[in-house]
Structure 1
Amino acid sequence: MLKIHGIPRSRAFRCIWAAEEAGLPYEVVPLGFAPGFKLERPLPINPNNKIPALEDGDLVLFESLAINLHLAGKAGAPLMPAGDDASRVMQWTLWTATEVEAPVMRWGYNTYLKPAAERDAAEAAAGKEALDARLAVLEGVLAKSPFLLGDTFSVADLNLACVLYAPWLNGYDLARFPKVKAWLDACLTRPAAKRARQQREG
């Protein structure tokens, strides 16, 4: 059985969702945070001492999006397609990590994650401006098809939607991006996503 180290109210949510989509048995090994976003205890299997980490037999992985690619690969198509679409999965996963996650976190830390007294409105606005630029790219792609690779949901959609989940849940203004909003709604209300969200949202 897969072991996902972390808690649902962390990036481990992404891996829980992927395991649910893949139909793979898993257990969550609880490991949460102390004040200041530090782990409550060390996680020796991850040299970065961060969550999540995955144990799949003898294989240990860290980095949530890499874990998701591994889980999707175990499930195969349509979650992890072959051929050129597999390359597109990598493209969108790397785009998520390099282009999207940083502005999501910049906006999030200064909108709802930090205590109110520590939030910086200028930083939140800068995060939103940067994220809006990426959402404009995504809006153009989704004008051509309902999912990133065409008509079928894949791990490319999962990896991007799980990073955009927090803005979606916490009132990000998507009025300029109706295609993105419809796509996020479709991704995050899938049965597997709802099961993962139930663990995170209680």
Structure 2
Amino acid sequence: MSLTIYGIAASRAVRPLWAATELGLDFHHVPLPYQGGGTRTPGFLAINPNGHVPAVVDARPEGDVVLWESMACALYIARHHGRADGQSITPATPREDAEALRWSFWAVNEAEADALTVLMHRMVMPEPRRKPELANAAERRLAVPLRVIEQHLQAQQARGQAFLAAERFTVADLCAASVLNWARPSRTLMDAHPLTHGWILRCMERPAHRAVKATDTA
């Protein structure tokens, strides 16, 4: 197998795992957890000196390509292992490629930190450790970027396109939805942005995403 992906689905590694699964790639998955010291071994640090998952190693004829950062991994897999045929998640036009880049960077810069705060303090952390005031503040900040994507989805809908870059699901949706899904425990935000909520659900319900998430319980 030429492609190896390190990390578990219950981490940002879900992004490259999802991309590879959407494309039907034959890849090697090393389910390395982000806790327990596995990412701090000399062997893994030689791959990613930051000591984080995901990491991707693509064994190519010209030599191994090694990369980290989850969005970069997903975008790379779509671009170099997919076909720009207008059917797969791979961008097929410069506009689609631009949408994939801008929504991926946008999600990291504008939404990820606050979406993670909502997830942790509304659902994941044990209730005695949750701090509702942190979740409330994060939700107020998230209202701004969610308004941006809601307006974009509204414009896309007017064009007859159901997703961020096209009528079909692409890596742009994969990257952005993987972040905004963390904000779903906020009923206030989801109710205020119904197009965004519906789009997130469509993305999360894709068979490839469900298959990746199932690897955490296999």
Which residue of the partner structure matches residue 83 of structure 1? Answer: 94
Residue 164 in structure 1 maps to residue 170 in structure 2: no
Equivalent in the alignment of 1:134: 145
1:180 corresponds to which of 184, 192, 196: 196
**Distance in 1 separating the partners of 2:113 and 2:213:** 22
Which structure's CA Rg is the greater one?
2
In structure 1, which of residues 59, 63, 68 is the aligned counterpart of residue 65 of structure 2?
Answer: 59
> C-alpha displacement at 1:134, in angstroms?
1.3
Matched, 1:69 2:69: no
Distance in 2, matches of 1:19 and 1:93, equals 17
Q: Is the strand fraction higher in 1 or 2? A: 1
The separation in 2 between residues aligned to 1:39 and 1:95, in whole angstroms, is 31
Give the TM-score of the pair, scaled to structure 2: 0.83
Matched residue SS, 2:191: coil
Name the stretch that deviates more: 86-95 or 106-115: 106-115
Task: Give yes or no for contact 1:3–1:29 (8 Å, CA) kept in 2.
Answer: yes
TM-score by length of 1: 0.89
**What is the correspondence of 1:1-202 to structure 2 with a 5 Å cutoff?**
1=1, 2-34=3-35, 39-42=37-40, 43-44=44-45, 45-57=47-59, 58-73=64-79, 74-77=81-84, 78=86, 79-81=89-91, 82-145=93-156, 146-168=162-184, 171-173=185-187, 174-200=190-216
In 2, distance between residues paired with 1:39 and 1:129? 35
Write the distance in 1 (CA, Å) between the matches of 2:21 and 2:199.
19
Kindly tell me the number of residue pairs found equivalent between the two proteins. 197
Distance 1:201 1:185, change over 3 A: farther
- Alpha-carbon offset, residue 201 of structure 1: 5.9
What amino acid is the match of 2:116? Answer: M
Cα deviation, 1:17-49, whole Å, max 9, x if unaligned, reads 111112211122121143xxx644413111110
Partner Cα distance (1:70, 1:122) in 2: 38
Shift of 1:97: 1.1
After superposition, the Cα gap between the structure-2 partners of 1:200 and 1:181, relative to the gap in structure 1 and judged at 3 Å, is farther
Partner SS, residue 175 of structure 1: helix
Q: Which deviates further from its counterpart, 182-191 or 151-160?
A: 182-191
CA distances 1:96-118 after superposition (whole Å, capped 9, x unpaired): 11111111122223223334333
Q: Aligned letter for 1:137?
A: V
Q: Give the C-alpha shift of residue 197 in structure 1.
A: 2.5
Q: Percentage identity across aligned positions? A: 33
Q: CA RMSD in A?
A: 1.8
Q: Separation in 2 of the partners of 1:156 and 1:41?
A: 28
